[in-house]
Amino acid sequence: MSTDILKLGSIEALVVRKSVKNLHLSVLPPMGKVRVTAPESMTDDAIRTLLATRLPWIKKQQEKFKNQARQTRRKYVSGETHYFFGHRYRLEVVCENTVPAIILKGKTKIILQVRPDSSIEKRSDVMTEWYRKELLPVAAKLMEKWQKELKVEAKSWKIQRMKTRWGSCNHKAGRILLNLELAKKPIACLEYVIVHELLHMIEKKHNENFVNMLSGYIPRWKSIKEELNRSLLSHEEWQYGSK
């Protein structure tokens, strides 16, 4: 694997060459950095040409990130807004000398119970583990449902923090990863990601067959994908060598 920086006018792209067949283009949050994953044999000129054909799309995605309201760094203090499965909650911090815990109070409040001397990092850790604990059984149920429906079986799957993807599938290893941030999104988003990744165990590429299958199982997938992309990343995949 090798990395390089290519410039095309005002656009600067990080190019990662590795053993892949397709060229992948991503515009990454929060600043709209451009990243290209390309086959090892692809020349700089070929990559520049492909970037040139996608300049309007790249600039459009960068503009979205530029205009997107930035969320200040979480301090985990009372009054902050946090999301859980698509619903908005107000955080209430309760400081007590007892085991840290998270308690949902009705449909509007999350109570974060921590020790008086807890740091921001500790409060963040408590919230993160709570999100993981809550997401796990919901994801497990959906994984079981869709593996039966699609007649596929993942050898393993897990939840982890991911910077630029909502999910991933290692086709050969039969391993699926789900982004922990899905705990903050509507369950329909989680279901879409799970179906998307499981379908890659049937069809590796984002080709017509893959899109047709996805549309059959998740008719609203385009609007769900748009919602996810607005908050994490914008991503396109090109078939290597396609027009």
pLDDT above 70 as % of the chain:
91
Give the burial string for 8-43 (b: 16+ CB within 10 Å, else e): beebebebebeeeebbebbbbbeebebbbbbbeebe
> Is 50 exceeded by the pLDDT of residue 4?
yes
Q: Please tell me the predicted confidence (pLDDT) of residue 203.
A: 94
> What H or E segment, with its residue span, contains residue 140?
helix 120-150
Q: How far apart are CA 170 and CA 158, in angstroms?
A: 12
Q: Please tell me the predicted confidence (pLDDT) of residue 219.
A: 96
Q: Please tell me the predicted confidence (pLDDT) of residue 239.
A: 46
Give the burial string for 191-214 (b: 16+ CB within 10 Å, else e): bbbbbbbbbbbebeebeeebeebb
> Is 70 exceeded by the pLDDT of residue 216?
yes
Q: Please tell me the predicted confidence (pLDDT) of residue 232.
A: 53
Residue scoring higher pLDDT (183 or 227): 183
Q: Residues, the chain, total?
A: 243
Question: Per-residue pLDDT tens for 148-173?
Answer: 999 999 999 999 998 778 999 998 89
Domain 81-234 in CATH 3.30.70.640? The answer is: no
Question: Per-residue pLDDT tens for 13-66?
Answer: 999 998 888 888 988 876 788 999 999 999 999 999 999 999 999 998 888 777
Question: Per-residue pLDDT tens for 107-141?
Answer: 999 999 999 999 999 999 999 999 999 999 999 99
> Is 50 exceeded by the pLDDT of residue 214?
yes
Question: Per-residue pLDDT tens for 187-206?
Answer: 999 999 999 999 999 999 88
Q: Closest Cα partner for 38 from 50, 52, 51, 23? A: 23
Q: How confident is the model at residue 241 (pLDDT cuts 50, 70, 90)?
A: very low
Ordered by start, the domain boundaries in the chain are 2-70, 81-234
Q: How far apart are CA 68 and CA 84, in angstroms?
A: 21
Query: Taking all residues of the chain, what is their mean pLDDT, rounded to a whole number?
Result: 89
> Is 90 exceeded by the pLDDT of residue 237?
no
3-state secondary structure of 10: coil
Q: Please tell me the predicted confidence (pLDDT) of residue 243.
A: 31
